[in-house]
Structure 1
Amino acid sequence: MSRPVAIAAAQYPVEALAGREAYADKLAAWVGEAAGAGADLLVFPEYGAMELASLDPATMGSLAGSLESVSALLDWVDGLHADLARRHGVHILAASAPCLQSDGNYVNRARLFAPSGKVGVQDKLVMTRFEREEWHVSPGAPLRLFETALGRIGVTICYDSEFPLLARALAEAGCEILLVPSCTDTLAGYWRVRLGAQARALEGQMVAVQAPTVGEAAWSPAIDVNRGAAGIFGPPDRGFPEDGVVALGEMDRAGWVMAKVDLALVAAVRADGAVLNHRHWAEQPGAAPLPRAEVIDLR
């Protein structure tokens, strides 16, 4: 018998930081607030880690310099997240960050921390025009599904959520909760990602969770303007709201958006929903078997 999973999606304000201790205190406060409210799964946004570039005034105004300075801090940042996940007994999708690879390229990497101490990594697969043309952030691989004590979790970072075959491959591997960390500087960008997340929830008959950056960081050429609202979405089907919106935050306002979702409802609509999108996918003209997502056990 499954129990409801309490999900907290961050509308996370990017800020100039006074030092490492300020970041550690901010992260601890955010995690402590959500965990104290009963959250099991905490979702931070895409590129929320770019606020760490403010710790190096010499490079924070440079696209290339900010990649280098933030990536250099990732081991320390990940240690903070691992400790908080273990201490509070929660799963945390850390804000994605640039990660330097052995070939000299940077990928946009999200990391899922389990209270067990295990960590799952998902890189962004399809880069936006800004990432590929100006910032020179590269696509990573592979697509992964994470087996957790809460359920089967997949991650499609921001723009990735706008490509249905990625989420479909996760759904075929058993994904129940799709995490969509986002970073958008216009309302149009926010709506593209939100509509993508809701469409993926509909197609895969699963829960999708969007968590955006919010606020302004004029000192950063990468995340200077941030618009969005966190949302938790399901298929508009039996047991879920008729519009599919389980919870939705106030636009651009910092804070957590929380809701409980019962994954038994995901199984129920896949088995006997008013429609059977998940099952009927293969009946589309041109539908073909997809490569399987790599399954990582974080239990």
Structure 2
Amino acid sequence: MTRFTVAAAQYPIDSLESWDAYVAKLTRWVEEAVAAGAALLVFPEYGAMELSSLDPATMGDLAGSIDTVSALLPQVDALHADLARRHGVYILAASAPRRDDARTVRNAARLFAPSGAMATQDKLVMTRFEREEWAITGGEGIKVFDTALGRLAIAICYDSEFPLLARAAVEGGAHVLLVPSCTDTLHGYWRVRIGSQARALEGQCYVVQSPTVGEAPWSPAVDVNRGAAGVYGPPDAAPVGGGMPADGVVALGEEGVAAWVYGVIDTAHVDGLRAQGGVLTVAHWSEQPGAGALPPAELVPLR
């Protein structure tokens, strides 16, 4: 399949009354996107932090909220796997802090296939908040997921602002870069959006941004959330395989509104632009002074 609909969530952080309330919320969101014809559903960075509200003893504690959410990840992942399997779609779950040992917590995004199979991309570069206040540790290595929709890669929020990370994914054949984000100011949102659009330009690929939105004053981690979902491509066209809108904006949501934003992706456009676009940024990358070899991305089958 080269042409499909992607759904990017502008996802609100809610205070949940129970686990069943979370199941109902996530199921409702997934069913809505599936009904609209989406084959790939993208949720934001740290959207899973709403699960900390299930434990009143830790919901207002920054460190305690990590352990609450991390402990629930097996249940969360089982739910996503079931929804992906039931509806025959790919789902990028909202990222979550995952405790690996007593001293190590990573920000993990998990991608689920229609078979229920799961693969993970950890965030690589930590923001100041993650480093200085939350003690989150960066992961290692870029992965490219070989799926029925094409090759997908994930750059979690701040990672999208670093060109070489996306370049490794592009060299691994990525057609689409997924950017789950969580920003508490419009400045932060625009940094990630500008990074996303720059990565689309450089990599001649699609980039899908999904943010958290709204306010959750009870949470020390995700209390304020600003942003809009978007689907971006390089502003270019090719005689074979078509092209993108002149401004590169395939779809864009209204900032701050809880909703899905839908865009149509055609990976044939990516192949066409990389071969015969008005510019060939992928092919000409190595002509930059200082453009050196990158560690190869890990190719992960996910069907």
**Fold agreement, TM-score > 0.5:** yes
The residue number in structure 2 matching 1:296 is 300
Inter-partner Cα distance in structure 1 for 2:192 and 2:46: 15
- The alignment yields a C-alpha RMSD, in angstroms, of 0.7
Structure 1 residue matching 2:209: 3-state secondary structure: strand
How big is the shift at 1:3? 3.7
The residue number in structure 2 matching 1:27 is 26
What does the per-residue CA deviation read over 1:252-298, in whole Å, with 9 as the maximum and x for residues that have no partner? Answer: 00000001111100000000000000110000000011000111000
Inter-partner Cα distance in structure 2 for 1:231 and 1:286: 31
Inter-partner Cα distance in structure 1 for 2:191 and 2:2: 32
What does the per-residue CA deviation read over 1:57-104, in whole Å, with 9 as the maximum and x for residues that have no partner? Answer: 000111100000000000000000000000000000000000011353
Of residues 244, 264, 271, the one that matches 1:260 is 264
Unpaired segments ≥5 residues, structure 1 = none
Inter-partner Cα distance in structure 2 for 1:195 and 1:118: 32
How big is the shift at 1:173? 0.5
Answering whether residue 136 of structure 2 is matched by residue 137 of structure 1, we say: yes
Answering whether residue 108 of structure 2 is matched by residue 109 of structure 1, we say: yes
The residue number in structure 2 matching 1:99 is 98
Inter-partner Cα distance in structure 1 for 2:23 and 2:103: 28
The residue number in structure 2 matching 1:46 is 45
Q: After TM superposition, list the pairs within 5 Å mapping 1:1-16 onto structure 2.
A: 2-16=1-15
How big is the shift at 1:251? 0.5
Mean Cα displacement is larger for which, 136-145 or 40-49?
136-145
Inter-partner Cα distance in structure 1 for 2:127 and 2:209: 17
What does the per-residue CA deviation read over 1:82-127, in whole Å, with 9 as the maximum and x for residues that have no partner? Answer: 0000000000000000001135311000000001221110000000
Q: After TM superposition, list the pairs within 5 Å mapping 1:173-188 onto structure 2.
A: 173-188=172-187
The residue number in structure 2 matching 1:71 is 70
Structure 2 residue matching 1:278: 3-state secondary structure: helix
- Count of matched residue pairs: 298
What does the per-residue CA deviation read over 1:141-175, in whole Å, with 9 as the maximum and x for residues that have no partner? Answer: 22111000000000000000000000000000000
How big is the shift at 1:220? 0.4
Q: After TM superposition, list the pairs within 5 Å mapping 1:147-226 onto structure 2.
A: 147-226=146-225
Inter-partner Cα distance in structure 2 for 1:101 and 1:142: 17
Answering whether residue 294 of structure 2 is matched by residue 283 of structure 1, we say: no
The residue number in structure 1 matching 2:240 is none
Runs of 4+ in 1 over 2 A off after TM superposition: none
Structure 2 residue matching 1:292: 3-state secondary structure: coil
How big is the shift at 1:197? 0.4
Unpaired segments ≥5 residues, structure 2 = 238-242
Q: Name the TM-score, length of structure 1 as normaliser.
A: 0.99
The residue number in structure 1 matching 2:244 is 240
* Residue identity in the other structure for 2:157: C
Percent identity of equivalent pairs:
65
Inter-partner Cα distance in structure 2 for 1:68 and 1:157: 21
What does the per-residue CA deviation read over 1:160-208, in whole Å, with 9 as the maximum and x for residues that have no partner? Answer: 0000000000000000000000000000000000000000000000000
User: Residue 2 of structure 2 contacts residue 150 of structure 2 at CA under 8 Å; is this kept in 1?
Assistant: no
Structure 1 residue matching 2:98: 3-state secondary structure: strand
Inter-partner Cα distance in structure 2 for 1:44 and 1:185: 17
Inter-partner Cα distance in structure 1 for 2:294 and 2:115: 31
